[in-house]
Structures are given as C-alpha cells and as structure tokens.
Structure 1
Amino acid sequence: MKRRINIQLIGIALIAILSTMVLMTSIFYEVFQKQVKEDLRLETQVLCSTGIFDEDHMDKLNLAVSELRITWISQDGTVLYDNDADIGSMDNHATRPEVEEAFSDGEGETVRRSDTMNANTFYYAVRLEDGSVLRVAREAGSFWSIFESSFPLIAVIILVMTVISIILAHFLTKKLIAPIEQMAGNMDDFSGTPVYKELVPFLTTIRMQHENILEAAKVRQDFTANVSHELKTPLTAISGYAELIENKMVEGEQLEHFAKEIRHNAERLLSLINDIINLSELDRTEDQIQFENLDLCEVVENCSDTLRMNAQQKNLEFSFEGEPCMIRANRDLINELVTNLGENAIRYNRENGSVDIRVFSENGRPVLLVSDTGIGIPKEHQDRIFERFYRVDKSRSKQTGGTGLGLAIVKHIVAIHDASLTLESEEGKGTTIRVEF
C-alpha cells in the first residue's frame, strides 16, 4: 500500500510538471508572437514617418537593416524596392494576403511557416498615403525550434523538480500511512480517536468484529467447558453403577434399579451428543442449507402426531389447529424447530396440564405459536433462556431428560430463516413462544 501510494504521488507530480512545462512554453510562445508583431508595427510606423518612401527618393533607397526585410509595393502589386532581394526577379505581390489586406483595410499581417528552415516569418503591411504598400518582415523561430533550444534548461528543471517530488512523495506517504500503521499496531486499544475521520466507520467495524470474535471465543470456551461437564455427569454415573455391579455389590431389586439408571444416563448421553452434533452441523453448513416452498401447517401437523403421544404419556392435553401458510424454508430444520418447542412444552409442564400449538397468518406473515400451562420462566431468566446449556432449574432439567441445548437450536434455526422469536412467560402459569416468519 505504501509503495503504491508513493508511486501514484510521484506519477501525479511528474504529470503536473510536464503539463506545466508544455503549457508555460505554449503561453510563452504566444506572448513571443504578440511581441514580434507589436515590434513590426512600431518599426513600420518609424519607417513610414521618415517620408523616404516616395517617387523622389526611390533611387536613393538603400536600407541596411539585417534583421528586417523591407519591401515597397506599388498599387498594382509591382515590387518597387526590397532590401534583401533583386526586385527584377520578384513576382507581383498584389495577391499576398498581408498586402491584399493592407490595400483593402489599410493594414494587414500574416505568419508563414518554413518547414525546411524550422522558422516562422512574420509580415506586417501598411498602406501609404500615395496608395502604395510598405511591408516589413522578420524571421523568428517556430514553437518547436524555441522548445528545442530551451530543452536542456527544461530538462534540468524537470529533473530537479522530479527529485524534489520523489522526496516529498516519500515524506507525505510516511505521514499519510503513519496513523493507519499506528492504529493497526494497537488494535486492542479502542480509547483513541482516528486522525482521519474517514477511518471512523472502518475502525467502528473493526471494533465490532473484534468484540464479536472475543464474544464468539468466550461462547466457544464456555460451550466446551459446559459440554465437558454435561458429558462427564452421565458418564460418571454409568461408570459408578457399572463398577458396583461388576464387583457384585448389588443384587435383587437394587440391581434392577442400577440397570435402569445406567440406561437413563446412556439415553441422556445420546441426547446430548445428538444435540451437540445438530448445533455443530448448523454452525458449519449454514451457507449450504437448501430452502424450498413448504406449508408450515402441514409440517407442524406431521410433528404433532409424535408430540401428542408424548403428551398423553404424561397425562397432558394436546391440541393443534392451523391454516395453510406457505414459507420458504428447510423442511428438516422446521421439523427440528417444532419438535424442540413441543418437547420443551411437554417436558416442563404440570400434571394434567395442556400444550397448544397454532399456525396462522397475521398481517400477511406466517406465525407458529406454542403455548403450555407449565412451570413458567422467571423474568430474570427470560433473556438467557436461549443460551446453550442454560437452565432455570438444573435439577429438574436433568430429571426430565433435558440437555439444555433445545432452545439454543431453536434460536439458531430461527436466525437461519430470518424469522423473529418472542417469548412470554409467567412463573407458575406457563409459557408461550411465538415464531414469526
């Protein structure tokens, strides 16, 4: 980046230098031309004021002026006098542009270029009182000849200015990049304000990303610790019961109880592993999930058959009602969403309670509503209930077979589908979870 900025600054400086030199040379040449023309006018006026250009002095004309060519032309275009050529061999000048203009307007001027001589000849003609025309000419270098003659000096100036530009470009680049390098070297220090206000949005984004990375690292660290703890508990129980059985320290009804506890903890272990795998899959394949148009009501109705049986085993009333609602979603994930919400409503319910699931459309948006008459969630826990492994009552969760990951999976699935998730709950009265697509 530093090298590119340096090169660009030098390039801009070189373009500016060359453009300025060409432009100044052009302006100088324009001024030079005007000065030559003005000098010719003055010199012509001086010659006219001498009064020597008349028939009485024709034989005595002998002007020795090396830088000027003086030509006297009669009314019919015949050359009467020329200080630089034999008038006998000269053709008629009546059609020369400057002479023709002088005959008609009183004065005329023109510039003729000689490619072979790489020079311009400036002509100025004025009509005299007797009707004849006096023309004065001066040869001057062309634009390119002047440029060529001054090129060594121009080259030296360009070289000096280029060296200065390189030094300044290097200095400016260092000064421009210094605040960015300083900021890059102190990414953890968010107390300072950027030197350039244009960097504020960039720094804000970096800070947010940095905070998100730290938060994600903390979540991952907590998740790893929680997973280790959650897996350790059933494994310890299984190992303990198995050791007692192996050492023949239990028998009869107690043996049957221990076997039942081993099976219970093994099932809990499998549930934990399945939920961890589901979360890992969601994290890894979020961009590869296939969506399709499906009827939310149909998906929920298919899940309701299994949920109804689970509810009946716990003496709970289960009801489902819905209307067709089309959504763009992944069928497997929606099945997982409905199943987790339904099982949570059943798991944390009361004896002879109820679970109600509804699917309807509100303001053109499909809505899934899962309500129960269970134990409810205290207000101080409601903001964290969707965190991984977060439990309001840890002992009850383990007794009912909860892994602490069901609502975390629900939250992840809702986010993948750009839906919204709201929770209303009152301790001792029940919970309602609303998913709006």
Structure 2
Amino acid sequence: MKRLSLQWRITLMTALLIATACISMSLLLGYSGRHYMDRIGTSISAYGESVSENDTAEHTDDIPNTATLAPNSDLVIVIDGAQAAFTASNWLITAAVTLLSAALAYFVSGRALRPLHSFASRLEEIEPNNLGKMKLPEDLLPEFRRSRDAFNRMLDRLDEGFRAQKQFTGNAAHELRTPLALMQAKLELFSAEHPNADAETADFLRLLGEQTERMAEMSKTLLELSELRSVPCEDRIELEPLLEELCTDLTPLAEKQNIELRYEGNAMLIGSDTLIYRLLFNLTENAIRYNRRNGSVRLSVREEAGCIEIRVADSGTGIPAQYRESIFQPFFRVDKSRSRRYGGAGLGLALVREIALLHDAEIRVEESNETGTTMAIRFPKMRNANLKNML
C-alpha cells in the first residue's frame, strides 16, 4: 500500500467504500425480495387449493410448476426460479456499479490531485539561479495555501542565502586581487634583480610565483562566477567563427602534446559571446590537457528541431561513472595529482555549468569510456526560436 500513488489510494478506498455499500444494499434488497416472494408464493398456494381438481390438472399439464389465482381468470402468475434470477441480477448490478464508480473515482481524483502534480513539476524545475521565478501563484486551492506560503518563504530564504554567498565570494575575490598582483610584481622584480641566485633560491622563487599565479587565477574565476548574473545575454552568436578563433588560441597548447584539434558545423544562437567563448574554451582546454599524447579533440555543432547541440569529444582516458555529476562542483578533482601537475583550481567546469545555466542550457557527460569522453551542451528551443524571430 505504501508504494501506491495517492491517486490510486483514493481510487481503491472509494471503490472499497462503494462496493461495501452496494453489497450491503444487495443483501438487504435480496432478503426483502425473497421474504415478499415467499409470502406471495404462500398466498398463491393457499388460494390455489380452492381451485377444482379438473382445472388445476388441466393447467398443470400445460404449464408445470404453476398456480392459478382463480378459475376462468385472464391473469396468470408464473413463478419459475424468480428468486435465483433476482439475486443474480442484484450481484451483476453491484459489480457493474462498483467498477464504474472506481473508474470515475480514478479520473475525478486525478483531476482533484492536479495541483499536486503541478507542485511536483515546479519542484523539479528549481535551480539556484531561478529561485525567484519558482514561487507558487496566489490562485491555489484553500488546502494548499498554507503549503504555498511556507514554500514561498523557503524560496526567499534560499535565494537570500545564495545571494549572500555569491556576494561574499565576489567581495573576497575582489579584495584578494590587489595583494596577489602586488606579490606577483614583487616576485618578478626580485627575480629580475637577482639573476644569479643559487638553485635553492631560484626554485623557491619559482614555487612562490606558480602558487601566486594559481591563487590569482582562482580569484579571477571566483569573481567571474559571482558576476555572471550581471552579464547581458543578448548577442547574436555565429558559432563557426567562434570555434575557429577558439582553435587558433588553443593550437599552441595542443601542439605541445601533438593533439589534433578540429571543428565542424555552424549555427546561430542568442547569448553572451564572451561567456559562450569561455564555456567552450574551458571544455576544450580540459580535453587537451587530460588527453593522451598524439590524441585528438573534436568540436561539433548540430542543429535539430530548433535546438542547438555542441559536443566536445576527446580521446583521453575517460571519467569514472561515479564522478560524472561531481565534476561540475567547485574545487572537485577526479585525480588530484594530475590536476596539480596541470595547474588550475578545480573551478573551470563549475564556471562552465554556471554559464550553461545562465543560458538555460543543459550540459552533461554524454559518453565516457577508456577511448575518450564526449561533453554535450544542449541549448533550448526557446532561445533558438527567439533568434529565428529576430532574423
């Protein structure tokens, strides 16, 4: 019973209630019918005894198991299994009424539970970036008003918490930029003024420079994450020139590992040109860095049914199945030792996911195994439809 939906529970309980009522009614009607039919039969038998033997025998030869009300009467009542037929018809009517009532209860309860289905659909659409748009409307049934108020207040608290978190992250990243830039400048100046420093000092300066640069890059990414909402997403973007520029910028990195970098396809979409470039840049850079030597990276664009899909496929070692959702979380690393060697702070894919959400796009690991990984970004029909209307 616990595994049944609320609609089926209401249907079964309604059917059970109707069946109980119908059965009780049938039993009472059957008892009453048999009682009165017995009385009728007794009266007919008593009255039939006054009929002459010749008339009775004459009628009995023609119609077995009968009784006549009176001699020379035009009205003849014939009782032949009436009680059994009456009882059977009662049970058939009871079964039919129960089944029909259960079907009606199922559809009526489905209509009555429609607000719950709508509420569940609304819950599935909640994302950190759309909390303000997910509030329940005022025109709800009285039974749902208390839940609506509690749900809307919860969304307000969550939205306020996310805003405070992003504001703190942005403020912290902004405050760190100046001292980190100063440290980098001082280290570069010291290295330039002491070109003949011993090996230990040179290694120490190099390590400080790498870590300072890494922290500066992390602060820059955190600041970008906190400021994404303020970036307008109304550019008309032609993807083929953008992919060409992207491959040109990443060719030096690909050549270091002898990675073949190629692209194909074209489409137009609405969004932020800068952010879409950053999204594809981060995905392609990861595909190059974590690829096999002499491997390949392929970017493809496909448009179908009003949607635009961009895929970034590499020939790397793949992503374990248990990490395919976690890789989009900030600071998450599948292999920490390799990530440290290649640099970065684990924020690249987190930024990619935020940019995709900002454009109402879906990003996922479409395929990943020992021969490579394919990342897919699917932009919705609505944005593409708006673009076609503009054109």
Give the direction of change, closer, same or farther, for the CA distance of 1:339–1:210 in structure 2 (3 Å limit): same
Q: Deviations over 1:348-406 (max 9, x none)?
A: 22222221111222233222111112232211111121111111122221210122111
1:216 Cα deviation after fit: 7.0
Residue 260 (str. 1) matches residue 168 (str. 2) = no
Residues 1-12 of structure 1 aligned to structure 2 (within 5 Å): none
Once residues 165 and 237 of structure 2 are traced to their aligned partners in structure 1, the CA distance between those partners, rounded to angstroms, is: 37
Out of 417-426 and 200-209, give the one that drifted further: 200-209
Once residues 368 and 433 of structure 1 are traced to their aligned partners in structure 2, the CA distance between those partners, rounded to angstroms, is: 8
Q: Which residue of 1 aligns with 2:122?
A: none
Residue 405 (str. 1) matches residue 347 (str. 2) = yes
1:434 Cα deviation after fit: 0.8
Q: Deviations over 1:214-254 (max 9, x none)?
A: 67778989x79x98xx99xx99x99xx99xx9xx9x96444
Once residues 430 and 402 of structure 1 are traced to their aligned partners in structure 2, the CA distance between those partners, rounded to angstroms, is: 21
Q: Which residue of 2 aligns with 1:309?
A: 252
Contact 1:377/1:425 (CA < 8 Å) preserved in 2? no
Q: Deviations over 1:175-197 (max 9, x none)?
A: xxxxxxxxxxxxxxxxxxx9954
Contact 2:250/2:285 (CA < 8 Å) preserved in 1? yes
Residue 277 (str. 1) matches residue 277 (str. 2) = no
What is the alpha-carbon root mean square deviation over aligned residues? 3.8
Task: List gaps (5 residues or longer) in structure 1.
Answer: 1-193
Q: Which residue of 2 aligns with 1:333?
A: 275
Q: Which residue of 2 aligns with 1:352?
A: 294
1:385 is paired with a residue whose SS is helix
1:328 is paired with a residue whose SS is strand
For residue 372 of structure 1, what is the amino acid of its counterpart? D
For residue 358 of structure 1, what is the amino acid of its counterpart? S
Query: Greater relative contact order (Cα 8 A, min sep 6): structure 1 or 2?
Result: 2
Runs of 4+ in 1 over 6 A off after TM superposition: 215-221
Once residues 276 and 203 of structure 1 are traced to their aligned partners in structure 2, the CA distance between those partners, rounded to angstroms, is: 33
1:327 Cα deviation after fit: 0.6
For residue 335 of structure 2, what is the amino acid of its counterpart? D
Contact 1:357/1:371 (CA < 8 Å) preserved in 2? yes
For residue 436 of structure 1, what is the amino acid of its counterpart? R
Q: Which residue of 1 aligns with 2:309?
A: 367
For residue 278 of structure 1, what is the amino acid of its counterpart? E
| TM-score, normalised with respect to structure 2 | 0.50
Q: Which residue of 2 aligns with 1:432?
A: 374
Once residues 290 and 357 of structure 1 are traced to their aligned partners in structure 2, the CA distance between those partners, rounded to angstroms, is: 22
Q: Deviations over 1:324-364 (max 9, x none)?
A: 31111111111111111111111222222221111222233
Higher helix share: 2
Once residues 335 and 160 of structure 2 are traced to their aligned partners in structure 1, the CA distance between those partners, rounded to angstroms, is: 30
1:403 is paired with a residue whose SS is coil
Q: Which residue of 2 aligns with 1:146?
A: none
For residue 198 of structure 1, what is the amino acid of its counterpart? R
2:275 is paired with a residue whose SS is helix
| Percentage identity across paired residues of the two chains | 31
Give the direction of change, closer, same or farther, for the CA distance of 1:199–1:361 in structure 2 (3 Å limit): same
Q: Deviations over 1:42-87 (max 9, x none)?
A: xxxxxxxxxxxxxxxxxxxxxxxxxxxxxxxxxxxxxxxxxxxxxx
Once residues 281 and 208 of structure 1 are traced to their aligned partners in structure 2, the CA distance between those partners, rounded to angstroms, is: 21
Higher strand share: 1
1:433 Cα deviation after fit: 1.0
2:228 is paired with a residue whose SS is helix
Once residues 211 and 250 of structure 2 are traced to their aligned partners in structure 1, the CA distance between those partners, rounded to angstroms, is: 22
Contact 1:374/1:430 (CA < 8 Å) preserved in 2? yes
Q: Which residue of 2 aligns with 1:298?
A: 241
Give the direction of change, closer, same or farther, for the CA distance of 1:354–1:201 in structure 2 (3 Å limit): same
Contact 1:353/1:374 (CA < 8 Å) preserved in 2? yes
Residue 206 (str. 1) matches residue 153 (str. 2) = yes
2:327 is paired with a residue whose SS is coil
Count of residues in correspondence between the two structures:
230
Once residues 143 and 308 of structure 2 are traced to their aligned partners in structure 1, the CA distance between those partners, rounded to angstroms, is: 47
Once residues 216 and 393 of structure 1 are traced to their aligned partners in structure 2, the CA distance between those partners, rounded to angstroms, is: 31
Q: Which residue of 2 aligns with 1:154?
A: none
Once residues 160 and 323 of structure 2 are traced to their aligned partners in structure 1, the CA distance between those partners, rounded to angstroms, is: 25
Contact 1:345/1:374 (CA < 8 Å) preserved in 2? yes
For residue 339 of structure 1, what is the amino acid of its counterpart? F
Contact 1:311/1:317 (CA < 8 Å) preserved in 2? yes
Task: List gaps (5 residues or longer) in structure 2.
Answer: 1-140, 380-391
Q: Which residue of 1 aligns with 2:263?
A: 320
1:409 Cα deviation after fit: 1.0
For residue 234 of structure 2, what is the amino acid of its counterpart? F
1:198 is paired with a residue whose SS is helix
Once residues 368 and 332 of structure 2 are traced to their aligned partners in structure 1, the CA distance between those partners, rounded to angstroms, is: 18
Contact 2:238/2:267 (CA < 8 Å) preserved in 1? yes
For residue 407 of structure 1, what is the amino acid of its counterpart? L
2:311 is paired with a residue whose SS is strand
Contact 2:167/2:226 (CA < 8 Å) preserved in 1? no
For residue 224 of structure 2, what is the amino acid of its counterpart? N
Aligned to 1:385, which of 327, 334, 343?
327
For residue 291 of structure 1, what is the amino acid of its counterpart? E
1:279 is paired with a residue whose SS is helix
Contact 1:340/1:410 (CA < 8 Å) preserved in 2? yes
Once residues 279 and 328 of structure 2 are traced to their aligned partners in structure 1, the CA distance between those partners, rounded to angstroms, is: 13
